Amino acid sequence: MKTDLQKVLSISGEQGLFTYISQARTGMIAESLLTKKRSVFGHTAKVSSLSDIAIYTEEGEMPLKEVFEKMKAHLGEDFAPDAKAQQKVLVNFFAEVVPGYDSERFYPSHMKKVVQWYNILKEYASLDFVDDESEQAQEDSKEE
């Protein structure tokens, strides 16, 4: 099954990633990819969809989906370096995977998040992502 990065969420103050389930009266319902536990997050929760996140490169911004695809091509079936790895390991890894990343604005703390998210998706979801075009076609057919 393909992963829809629009429905995969990072919630500030919470461990791991979540899948959007539905809207609730007091906010939204999301399910943890790690524990499969559902929780309600209020309107004040800082929620980011992984499809809205990009990293800075010398040419502009690279969507996280492209970064994940480059990581997958580089790593094959292996996991990314651990988020707790030494800073040098993460910097060298991203220098290989995304050689044009902007070292002035893409910090090691960001690298830790990206490798952590990659490993969570690899283990608990899929690194095969929904295409934007096919997703749009599905939405259009539902509206008709």
Domain end call among 52, 68, 86: 52
Q: Is residue 79 part of a domain?
A: yes
CATH number at residue 34: 2.30.30
State pTM to two decimals: 0.88
With the CA atoms of 108, 114, 115 and 121 taken in that order, what torsion angle do they form, in degrees rounded to the nearest 10?
170
46 and 66 part of one domain: no
- For the beta carbon of residue 103, count every other beta carbon within 10 angstroms: 12
Residues 58 and 89 grouped into a single domain: yes
Number of domains comprising the chain: 2
Report yes or no on 41 lying in a domain.
Answer: yes
Please report the pLDDT score of residue 15 as a whole number. Answer: 92
pLDDT tens, N- to C-terminus, the chain (144 residues): 899 999 999 999 999 999 999 999 999 999 999 999 999 999 999 999 999 999 999 999 999 999 999 999 999 999 999 999 999 999 999 999 999 999 999 999 999 999 999 999 999 999 999 986 554 444 444 444
Q: How far is it, in rounded angstroms, from Cα 57 to Cα 42?
A: 34
Query: In the numeric block, which tokens belong to residue 125?
Result: 């979801």
The residue type found at 91 is V
Same domain, 40 and 66: no
Residues 41 and 81 in one domain: no
Indicate which CATH number applies to the domain containing 103.
1.10.10.1650
Domain around 31: 1-52
